[in-house]
């Protein structure tokens, strides 16, 4: 059992100023070194492995790490009980701590006086472990929802269509049914958690529960690990599916595919797949709701004398747009019914003209421009 005086930074052998990457690297190295499977029959290694997991669960989360650091500054880790034992342990509260007797309740809200959401830190760790292990013991468990971002072409988002995607997903191992044991073999009760799926650790005069790192919250350890999942009970797979993109889809739009998420365990129903769309930009068109916008360059003569230009629409057709004489740069024209269709409504296409000035003029063009300037009252 982790005593109240242990320091998470000391456990992971990192400085308090260590970066998240340094903390992750230290955790991976120590977890591999002290994993129970690599130290069979060594209870000290299993205890060390548990402490490493406890430390990493807090220091790897920036918010929890901040709260933990606040506790250290306040000296919240210095009031353990006799022999380093806090008022809570595997067997429950120890007598003699503030009148707390065995079996009495404890509220993490009592820690709110330390500030910084201190109670939330340990409440979240406790509740997470409690939820996970209670689900394991209660039988069928629904699969988790999976969220995935899908980029689609601009035209596909506007007109609708279908796209194929590959979804990386963690699923229950079909070979062992999620038990982690090879078919035809049995599993033994985990000696660390005694089959409960949870372990307690003391810190600062109280204890919290978390999923057992030795059995990963299952309460049992396979005698012969399942080969496909390496005894974890889960496998990482890639699922290929076809997704329908609704007509008029915008960036941020979502669709829910029922039953396409992670598979449930022990007969539980599968979760859902939630797709978020992101429309790629178009080299020619821009979109604003149901409206399409495009900028077309014209020269000074077209703007001054008037002209007719051909404008390409999103479906590939070309429509003729009349430019009146004296048109100014930035003028917008509307072509009705050539925007985005969605929910029975149709938007328009807006064409903005931009007058382009030539970088250089031929002698003949220069004379014409000088004549134009003279008619306008300008002198050269």
Task: Kindly report the CATH number assigned to the domain that includes residue 76.
Answer: 1.10.287.110
Residue 279 is assigned to a structural domain of this protein: no
Of 5-14, 199-208, 224-233, 237-246, the poorest mean pLDDT is in 199-208
Whether residue 218 is found in the same domain as residue 310: no
Q: Of the ranges 79-88, 141-150, 207-216, 244-253, which is most confident?
A: 244-253
Whether residue 217 is found in the same domain as residue 301: no
Q: Between 121 and 350, name the one with better pLDDT.
A: 350
pLDDT for position 41: 67
Whether the per-residue pLDDT at 294 is higher than 50: the answer is yes
* Rounded distance between C-alpha atoms, residue 326 and residue 328, angstroms: 6
Backbone angles phi, psi at 324, to 5 degrees: -70, 155
Give per-residue pLDDT as tens, 15-63: 988 999 999 999 988 888 887 777 776 777 777 888 888 888 888 888 8
* pTM across the whole model: 0.52
Q: Between 72 and 289, name the one with better pLDDT.
A: 289
Residue 117 is assigned to a structural domain of this protein: yes
Question: Any residues with CB less than 8 A from the CB of 47 and at least 6 apart, and which?
Answer: 1
Backbone angles phi, psi at 367, to 5 degrees: -60, -40
User: Alpha-carbon torsion 20, 24, 30, 36, what sign?
Assistant: positive
Question: Any residues with CB less than 8 A from the CB of 296 and at least 6 apart, and which?
Answer: 309, 311, 351, 352, 353, 354
Residue 256 is assigned to a structural domain of this protein: no
Contact assessment for residue 57 and residue 125, using Cβ atoms and an 8 Å cutoff: yes
Contact assessment for residue 34 and residue 47, using Cβ atoms and an 8 Å cutoff: no
Whether the per-residue pLDDT at 220 is higher than 90: the answer is no
Whether the per-residue pLDDT at 135 is higher than 60: the answer is no
Average pLDDT on 115-120 reads 44
Whether residue 95 is found in the same domain as residue 211: yes
Domain end call among 198, 222, 246: 222
pLDDT for position 34: 82
Q: Between 277 and 109, name the one with better pLDDT.
A: 277
pLDDT level of residue 115 (50, 70, 90 thresholds): very low
Question: Any residues with CB less than 8 A from the CB of 333 and at least 6 apart, and which?
Answer: 321, 350, 351, 352, 353
pLDDT for position 377: 52
CATH code for position 300:
2.60.260.20
Whether residue 327 is found in the same domain as residue 211: no
Whether the per-residue pLDDT at 168 is higher than 50: the answer is yes
| Cα–Cα–Cα angle for 18, 25, 170, rounded to 5 degrees | 125
Residue 41 is assigned to a structural domain of this protein: yes
Residue 361 is assigned to a structural domain of this protein: yes
Whether the per-residue pLDDT at 290 is higher than 50: the answer is yes
Whether residue 198 is found in the same domain as residue 330: no
Domain end call among 174, 207, 222: 222
Supply 136's token pair.
Answer: 């394991």
Whether residue 350 is found in the same domain as residue 207: no
Residue 154 is assigned to a structural domain of this protein: no
Average pLDDT over the chain, rounded to whole? 77
Whether residue 316 is found in the same domain as residue 211: no
Whether residue 192 is found in the same domain as residue 102: yes
Whether residue 214 is found in the same domain as residue 325: no
Average pLDDT on 104-110 reads 39
Whether the per-residue pLDDT at 228 is higher than 50: the answer is yes
Whether the per-residue pLDDT at 207 is higher than 80: the answer is no
Question: Any residues with CB less than 8 A from the CB of 348 and at least 6 apart, and which?
Answer: 290, 291, 292, 334, 335, 336, 337, 338, 339
Domain end call among 197, 222, 247: 222
pLDDT for position 170: 80
Residue 230 is assigned to a structural domain of this protein: no
Whether residue 107 is found in the same domain as residue 14: yes
Whether the per-residue pLDDT at 266 is higher than 80: the answer is no
Whether residue 214 is found in the same domain as residue 318: no
pLDDT for position 335: 94
Residue 151 is assigned to a structural domain of this protein: no
Whether residue 130 is found in the same domain as residue 50: yes
Residue 355 structural domain:
294-375
Give per-residue pLDDT as tens, 322-375: 999 999 999 999 999 999 999 899 999 999 999 988 787 788 877 877 776 666
pLDDT for position 138: 45
pLDDT for position 203: 55
Give per-residue pLDDT as tens, 82-105: 333 333 333 333 333 333 333 333
Number of domains in the chain: 2
């Amino acid at each position: 059992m982790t005593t109240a005086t242990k320091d998470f930074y000391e456990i992971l052998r990192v400085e308090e100023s260590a970066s998240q990457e340094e903390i992750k690297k230290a955790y991976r190295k120590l977890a591999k070194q002290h994993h129970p499977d690599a130290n069979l029959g060594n209870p000290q290694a299993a205890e060390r492995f548990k402490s490493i997991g406890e430390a990493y669960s807090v220091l790897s989360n920036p918010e929890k790490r901040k709260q933990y650091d606040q506790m250290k500054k306040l000296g919240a880790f210095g009031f353990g009980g006799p022999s380093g034992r806090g008022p809570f342990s595997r067997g429950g509260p120890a007598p003699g701590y503030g009148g707390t007797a065995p079996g009495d309740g404890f509220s993490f809200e009592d820690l709110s006086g330390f500030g910084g959401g201190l109670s939330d830190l340990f409440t979240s760790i406790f509740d997470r472990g409690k939820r996970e292990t209670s689900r394991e013991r209660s039988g069928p468990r629904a699969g988790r929802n999976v969220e995935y971002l899908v980029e689609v072409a601009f035209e596909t988002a506007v007109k609708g269509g279908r796209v194929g995607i590959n979804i990386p997903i963690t699923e229950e191992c079909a070979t062992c049914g999620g038990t982690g044991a090879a078919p035809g073999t049995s599993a033994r009760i985990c000696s660390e958690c005694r089959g409960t799926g949870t372990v307690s650790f003391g810190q600062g005069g109280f204890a919290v529960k978390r999923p057992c790192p030795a059995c990963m919250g299952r309460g049992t350890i396979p005698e012969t690990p399942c080969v496909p999942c390496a005894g974890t009970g889960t496998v990482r797979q890639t699922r290929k599916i076809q997704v329908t993109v609704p007509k008029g889809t915008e960036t941020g739009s979502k669709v829910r595919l029922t039953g396409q998420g992670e598979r449930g365990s022990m007969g539980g129903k599968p979760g859902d797949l939630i797709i978020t769309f992101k429309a790629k930009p178009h080299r020619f068109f821009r979109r604003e709701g149901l409206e399409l916008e495009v900028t077309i360059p014209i020269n000074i003569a077209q703007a001054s004398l008037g002209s007719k230009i051909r404008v390409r629409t999103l479906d590939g057709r070309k429509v003729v747009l009349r430019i009146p004489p004296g048109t100014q740069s930035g003028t917008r024209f509307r072509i009705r019914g050539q925007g985005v269709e969605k929910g029975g409504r149709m938007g328009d296409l807006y064409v903005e003209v931009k007058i382009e000035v030539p970088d250089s003029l031929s002698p003949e063009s220069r004379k014409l421009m000088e004549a134009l300037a003279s008619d306008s009252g300008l002198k050269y």
